[in-house]
A and B are shown apart, each in its own frame.
Chain A
Amino acid sequence: MQITKRERSDPKFWVGQVLRFAFLIIHLVVTVFPFYWMLNTSLKGSQAEIYAFPVIYWPENPTFQNYLNIAVKGNFIRFFTNSFTYAGIASLIGVIISVMSAYVLSRMRFKGRNWLLMLFLGTQMLPGVCGFAIKYQMMSKMHLINTVPGILLLYTSGVIPYSVVTLRSFFDGVPASLEEAALIDGCNRPQTMIKISVPLMLPGIASVLIFDFVNTWNDFGTANLFLDSTKKKTIAVALYSLIKSYDIAWGELMAGTIIAILPTMILFSLLRKYMVAGLVNGAVKG
């Protein structure tokens, strides 16, 4: 959407523009502030500086001590790799499984279709915590506690419902006419799905994939309960460990948090570029 000539000469348009940018700037400040505060806290070396009031808006001698502390003591690199592996594999498998279901739910008419949709939607309402004890016993009987396959199973099934439901509505947004044409031309269902709908859906798939990744990456409860070994710990659990019973190590906690949110931020910036490319528009036109 470029600014048209008509708009350029319209004063009302410019008032709108000013309001729009004012809104964007205020929003930006509010969004960024907590991150800035996190960074600020993480760079303070002493407790006195951290707790000082009036607060210190930038440490006099910024130090990376907190980062070093957690990198060495906490073995965050290991936890980081673990989180990346679990979240990456689980969300990838989860999305592939979900695309299959979502496609069927969106494109095909069959009995029980709404029930299936409700099955997936319904999981969001399940009081998941309540099943934890029984799930734990179930996994324990299968010897899946404290194992990588176990946690992957838990995470993969965890991302499916949201992915299916969201992907279905993305599929709904892609015109079915293209596919119908292909079907008439003699393509079979799997072919049309892979060759026509999925490429059109890629922005949606990517965003769901990244959402799943972030959600899994941020999970604390499941990893804490189902994994024991320090070697298998995830970064979220390690962060939680910094909240001790007698003291919250704010400096280290904030340093750890910044490290922990970096990959998700990077993924988000990928998603952004990708959406901005206007894939769907291009594809439909091309």
Chain B
Amino acid sequence: MSVRLRLPANMRSLASDQSEIAIDGTTVGECLQNLAQQFPELESRLLDAEGNLQGFINVFVDNVSIRELRQLRTPVSEGSEVLIVAALAGG
């Protein structure tokens, strides 16, 4: 199934300047792995060496944090919006 994955502005240059990408996967983790296969430079921005979400990234599925759900094992539905929110400090 395909979800709409929305990237933060500071990662779009690593994904051909796209802000929203259609990605296949049944869980958030699968979607992120598939994203990283297409755009390898994104992998270390999202996941650490053990495959866990980086501590400066939050992911929301249809506006709910995956920390409240099943982390990277959170299932996604056709058409879900997967929103990646990166820590910012522009002041």
A and B part of one assembly: no
